[in-house]
Structure 1
Amino acid sequence: MTAVDPRLLGRRVTVKVPATTANLGPGFDTLGLALSVYDELEVSVREAPGASVAVHGVGEGEVPTDESNLVVRSIAHTFAAHGLAMPGLDLVAHNVIPHGRGMGSSGAAIVSGVMAAKGLLEGIVDMTADDLLARATELEGHPDNVAPALFGGLTIAWVTPEGPQHKRLTVHRGVSLLVAVPETSTMSTALARSLQPESVPHQDAIFNVSRSALLIAALIQSPELLLAATEDKLHQTYRASAMPETNALITVLREHGLAAVVSGAGPSVLVLCSDPAQRLQAAELIEQHATTPWVSHMLAVDFKGATVNTHPVEAAV
């Protein structure tokens, strides 16, 4: 590891990263959408080593504010991947994405750190899109959330011996989104994964392959197929017992012809609508049938993905 590069001193960047929803029903660990909800981050290089984090909004008073913070660890990981020492940092995080609700909060934190490192190292290290995805996936463990957070839109992500790959697609303009978020209950991704079997029946695998292919067509070309395209037999049924109200709401919504699925690992519910009237219907059904407080968010697909802006180094007075 080299010493801290003196060119970093005084550098400052701001980062904006969208929330995401992964799986989308049948596309387990493969498909993801970027959402129009954003965490923002300011990072400044300081002379003193270490890192301090000020958190505003979601996670304030709960998440670590030192070098163990996930964003800081992501910055350090990205610097280390390029053989560089992380400088001393001051971070200010403005968080909006709910934690533990299946909207990609950990993926957003990781992407925030990777993008901050990219901005801080501008002119020192050139990072490609593949580099960014590789660093984020190394930390997240799978690319289905970090890919849409990085690149926006609908992403298909897969892993090869050379590293994670992605394809970004543009969602049909007729598709609108609703994400219903429970105010109190959360779900650990690790717990959700532990509820799944190590193997599934052959017919269930074939079922999901067909629905995943259909879902791509529905999202980019034929929104009227969304209900059939969001059927799943790989993960939602196995996790249902841990999220009974989520499962009950999805059942009601689908009985009314709405393409409702678990958002990520849950417990939030994603409804993929083929017209705005369906979103209103979904919100009404959730309000009628939920037994605990839920908030329905009418969202758009984010098409930009994560952004980083660098700021001129202030000259010493």
Structure 2
Amino acid sequence: MIPLSQRQHEIITATLAVIVIMLVWKLVPQRVEVIPQPEQAVVKKAAPIKKSMAGPAQTAPPQESPPTDSAALRLINEAIQKSELATESEFQELVDDLSKLGEGAVDDLGAALRSAKGVPAKTVLAATLVRMGSSEAVNQLVLSLVNITSPQERSAVLDQLDAVQNSLGLETLTSSLSVVSDPSLRSSLSGVVARLATDDTVQFLTELYREPPSIPEQPQSVLSALGGISNPSAIGALSDLVRDAPELPLQYAAVQSLARIGTPEALDGVLGAAFRVGDTNPDYRQAVLAALQSVSNPQAAGWLAQHSATPGLPEDIVASLSQAMQGLKQQPAN
């Protein structure tokens, strides 16, 4: 081996140092200085959503409308056709069969009632909805009545409403007084509500009267129904209204209904109103006396005779009771 000079050692050492520096430069990752941007908001990127590897998602098939030849619609259409010539017993069978369709067919029955032509068809569909009696069924009846223009067809449907017995259905019918603006229909519905009214109906009507009206005619429609009640089932609530209601229109409407019902229990409420008002409100007292004079229920005869003979009774009350007795005597015998 040839000995190296001092100069050669220095050159070799320098060369090795350069090689080491180059290797380090290649192997170590370079850092780049990032100059932050002033007042720049940092936005985080959402992680990419991983796609399922199970294959493309299956789209749900679109929901199809019920076929027009479904069993329910076929039965409804058959009943409409048969109603034209049906006897009374056959008519009831049609109503029975349609009623068995249940609540799921209420919308179809309502749509058929609005589109069907003729009194027999309207009658069988209306009778079916009344037989069901639910809130939804009665609502379909009211919606249909609004759209019926024929007086004969409307009368046929209204006649069926007198058979409503379900309490929720009756409440829905009562609610219609706050939305129906047609004068003729509104008057007819008030009459139906009055004939069917119970204690609960009276309370509901009172709430309708006191709430902000949905239509201008609402208060008067309510008073018409309250003043036309003939069902003894409403005596308790009517008597409470006469005694406790701060609104004179409600009191007067209740007095009218109690006099119309005309049973001894109902007349006790009317007489009590006459005593309570005294001379403080002459107009209201005269209204109460007029209600007493109009009593026409034969069941009132004994009550009228007993109270008209009560000593110390005010003369105007005795006169009203006597007039009511005369009216009952003049009624034709059944």
The bucket for the TM-score relative to the shorter chain is under 0.3
The higher relative CO (CA closer than 8 Å, separation ≥ 6) is in: 1
The structure with the greater share of residues assigned to helix is 2
Higher Cα Rg: structure 1 or 2? 2
TM-score of the pair, normalised by structure 2: 0.25
